[in-house]
Structure 1
Amino acid sequence: MNVVKYRTREARLRPRRTKLEIPGWAGEREPRADGSREYVWHCLPFSEGAQYGIELFYPYQHDLHVTTREGHLVFEGDFGPPPEKGLQWPPFRTFGDKFYTYQILLDLKVEQGFAIRTEPHPRFYSDSTNTVPIAVPALLRNWWPMMFFIVFKSPAEGATHIFRPGEPFAQVIVVPEEANFVIEEMGEEECAERELQARRIHESRTTLSAETHWTSKSNTVFDGTYRNILRAAKAKARGTED
């Protein structure tokens, strides 16, 4: 198990493993059943991907609105006086004409061979208001002792990003510091093996999802094939470890 250690000047950032908020940004507690409205948490690959990282919470007491007006960024929020000398205050500023930054002052220390990468919080993908901040991907090696700022993409003309107290605004994931992989075409034997796996799954979908097949309110069909196979794979892995 890898350990991620942190230090910060602002405890209310409260970095934690990302959680699905239900009810909340991930949807409501509607069952996987005919007639239910579909939500992102119903999709297991999304749910696992969303919970893969570390979420960060907006630590200030008042909302911040970031708006683009006539091509210029406008920051609207009541920050009051700086909490200590030497801090950029307010902690937001423009970064070129297409981005803006937040002086986050957060140190996340990962183990040797790993790095941290910023990215949008998963609620960005379920949001229908276009108000969720869009964190720009950036990779920091473990020898860099502080994330001094985090960069966000500016909202479109007339749109507004909203930072609210206690609301997650970005996610950090832990990744290998080097992308040591190459992309190559599968050989004939591998292709045949993967094709056979795919056909077996396709032919078994009715059996695998017999009790988990449902059609949502918008007439979208779901089944539990992936979920059931994942459950079996995890059970097999536990047996192997034992």
Structure 2
Amino acid sequence: MMKVFVRTREKALAPRRTRLEIPGWAGERTPRGEGAREQPWHCALFSEGAQYGIELFYPYRNELRVETRDGRLHLEGDFGPCPEEGLQWPPFRDFGGNYYTYQILLDLKVPPGFALRIEPHPRFYTDRTDTCPIAVQALIRRWWPMMFFCVFKSPAEGRVHIFRPGEPFAQILVIPEEAPFDLEEMAPEEAAERELQARRIHANRDRLSGDSRWVSQTDTVFDGTYRQMLRAAKTLAKDK
């Protein structure tokens, strides 16, 4: 089990492994079943991807609104007096108009060979209001002692990003610090084997999905094949 060590400043809310909020940004508590409306958490691929990282929370009592009006970025929030000498205050600032930054002052120490990658929180992909902040990707190496700030993409003209108390605003993934891979065309034998696997799954979806098949409100078929095979794969891996 990998351990990630956390050091926060007094104002920071402790990060945690990302959780699905149901009801909330991950959808309503609508059971899978005939005629149900699709929810993001109904998809096993989304659920696994969304819970893979570490979520960061907005720690202040007053919300911040970030808006672009007449081509200019506006940061509106009441943060009161600076609580500590030497801090950038307010903790948000314009960064060239197209971006803005948040002084987060968070330290996450990962094992050797790993790094931290910042990205948008999964709720960005489920947000229908376009108010979710959009964190800009960044890779931080293990030897760097603190994440001093996060960068966000500015909202489009007339749109607003909102940071609310206790709400997640970004996610961090722990990944290998290097990506030493090349793209190479599959050998014919391997390609044929993968194609055969795909055809077998397709031909046996009814049997593989068991009684988990259902049709949603918009006539989308959810057969649960991937979810059932995922459970089987995890069981096999555990038995080994």
TM more than 0.5: yes
Identity %: 70
Q: CA deviation at 1:10?
A: 3.6
2:142 is the alignment partner of 1:136: no
In the alignment, what sits opposite 1:200?
200
Q: What's the counterpart of residue 115 of structure 1? A: 115
Deviation digits for residues 104-156 of structure 1, max 9, x if unmatched? 00011101000000000000000000000000000000000010000000000
For 2:81, the equivalent position in structure 1 comes to 81
Query: How far apart are the structure 1 equivalents of 2:10 and 2:179?
Result: 32
Q: Give secondary structure in 2 for the equivalent of 1:41.
A: helix
Q: Supply the distance in 2 between the matched residues of 1:110 and 1:170 (Cα, whole angstroms).
A: 18
Q: Specify the SS of the correspondent of 1:13.
A: coil
**What amino acid sits opposite 1:224 in the alignment?**
G
Distance in 2 of aligned mates of 1:212 and 1:185: 36
Does structure 1 retain, via aligned residues, the 8 Å contact 2:12–2:104? no
Structure 1 stretches (4+) deviating beyond 4 angstroms? none
Unaligned ranges ≥5, structure 1: none
Match of 1:145 in 2: 145
Query: Does the aligned pair in 1 maintain the 2:33–2:216 contact within 8 Å?
Result: yes
- Aligned partners of 1:14, 1:80: CA distance in 2, in Å? 22
CA–CA distance in structure 1, aligned partners of residues 211 and 135 of structure 2: 39
How many angstroms apart in 2 are the aligned matches of 1:216 and 1:126?
18
Query: How does the TM-score come out when normalised to structure 2?
Result: 0.98
Kindly report the root-mean-square deviation, in angstroms, between the aligned alpha carbons of the 2 structures: 0.9
Instruction: Report if the CA contact (8 A) 1:10-1:59 is conserved.
Output: no
Which residue of structure 1 lines up, in the alignment, with residue 70 of structure 2?
70
**Aligned equivalent of 1:158:** 158
Cα distance in 2 for residues equivalent to 1:176 and 1:168? 24
Q: CA deviation at 1:53?
A: 0.3
Matched AA of 1:129: T
Deviation at 1:11, TM superposition (A): 5.2
Name the amino acid aligned to 1:28: E
* Structure 2 residue matching 1:128: 3-state secondary structure: coil
Separation in structure 2 between the aligned mates of residue 190 and residue 172 of structure 1, nearest angstrom? 34
Whether the aligned pair in 1 keeps the contact of 2:13 and 2:58 (CA below 8 Å) is yes
* Equivalences, count: 240
Structure 2 gaps of 5+ residues are none
Q: Deviations over 1:93-112 (max 9, x none)?
A: 01112100000000111010
Deviation at 1:207, TM superposition (A): 1.0
Give the match for residue 209 of structure 2: 209
Counterpart residue identity of residue 191, structure 1: A
Partner SS state of residue 6, structure 1: strand
Q: Secondary structure at the match of 2:204?
A: helix
Q: How far apart in 1 are the matches of 2:221 and 2:96?
A: 45
Amino acid paired to 2:48 = E
TM-score normalised by length of structure 1: 0.97
1:185 and 1:104 map into 2 onto residues whose CA distance is 43
